Amino acid sequence: MTKTELKDFLDSKVVAYNNPNFLESDPIQIPHLYTKKEDIEISAFLTATIAWGNRKSIIKNAHRMMDLMGNSPFDFVMNHQQADLEALHSFVHRTFNGTDFIYFIKSLKNIYLKHDGLEGIFKTYQEEDSLQPTISKFKEHFFELPYEQRTIKHVSDPLKGSAAKRINMFLRWMVRDSSSNVDFGIWKNISPAKLSCPLDVHSGNVARKLKLLKRKQNDAKALYELDKNLRRLDPKDPVKYDFALFGLGVFEKF
């Protein structure tokens, strides 16, 4: 395909998959349960954190997370008592367990008290053309409280070679325009042009078949290559193509 043909093809797939019909099978349905900004971003961050493996399991366990917080994530984060945290010990999603969950709650409280919330960190440390170094800075602040070593692996660091799929997905949810009623667009101070594709097995395989990606590993170097090619197709909103790549992979077995 020529560049024009490729763009037309992918644009048509964005239209097909960037719509609310697919929310019922996507973890983004969890933050759509809420209307308050802080509830949306906390539920989105926690859901994205456990977004690996079977999607039905991700959605089921994300609902359980919300239930354990009384379905009021921001209120729970800011006003929990020690006894409230004890109930979280029962939570497990793959390698993310109650110990990790409890640290995440404590750290989120610290971030809202000291760093103007989740948006505050990303807004403050954003760079001119990418949020990947910002994710690394976010991780630094996220682990400024005492933590168990096992928990640190649940927040990726692009500067250590990770494609940071889950945080990039969370950022897409928060930053991209809400006009399609899929993403939320509640972080107004960060440009969608700075977003990176949530690179996973599905989007990576499709990107390679379309010659948008040559590198075989789904790591930070592959993400940089994919970002560069997607920004050529749409400099202002490159991550809209996540819908096309993921949809082609998961729903069309492209």
Q: Is the pLDDT of residue 140 over 90?
A: yes
- Tens-place pLDDT, residues 59-114: 999 999 999 999 999 999 999 999 999 999 999 999 999 999 999 999 999 999 99
Tell me how many degrees the CA angle 246-248-251 measures, rounded to the nearest 5.
90
Task: Specify whether the backbone of 191 is left (phi greater than 0), alpha (psi in -120 to 50) or beta.
Answer: beta
Instruction: Judge contact between 176 and 186, C-beta under 8 A.
Output: no
Strands 92-93 and 96-97: antiparallel
For residue 207, the one-letter residue type is: A
Is the pTM of the predicted complex or chain greater than 0.85?
Answer: yes
Q: Is the pLDDT of residue 253 over 90?
A: no
Q: How far apart are CA 129 and CA 94, in angstroms?
A: 34
- Tens-place pLDDT, residues 20-31: 988 888 999 999
Q: How far apart are CA 2 and CA 139, in angstroms?
A: 40
What is the average pLDDT across 189-193? 98
The reported pLDDT for the residue numbered 187 is 98
What is the average pLDDT across 146-150? 97
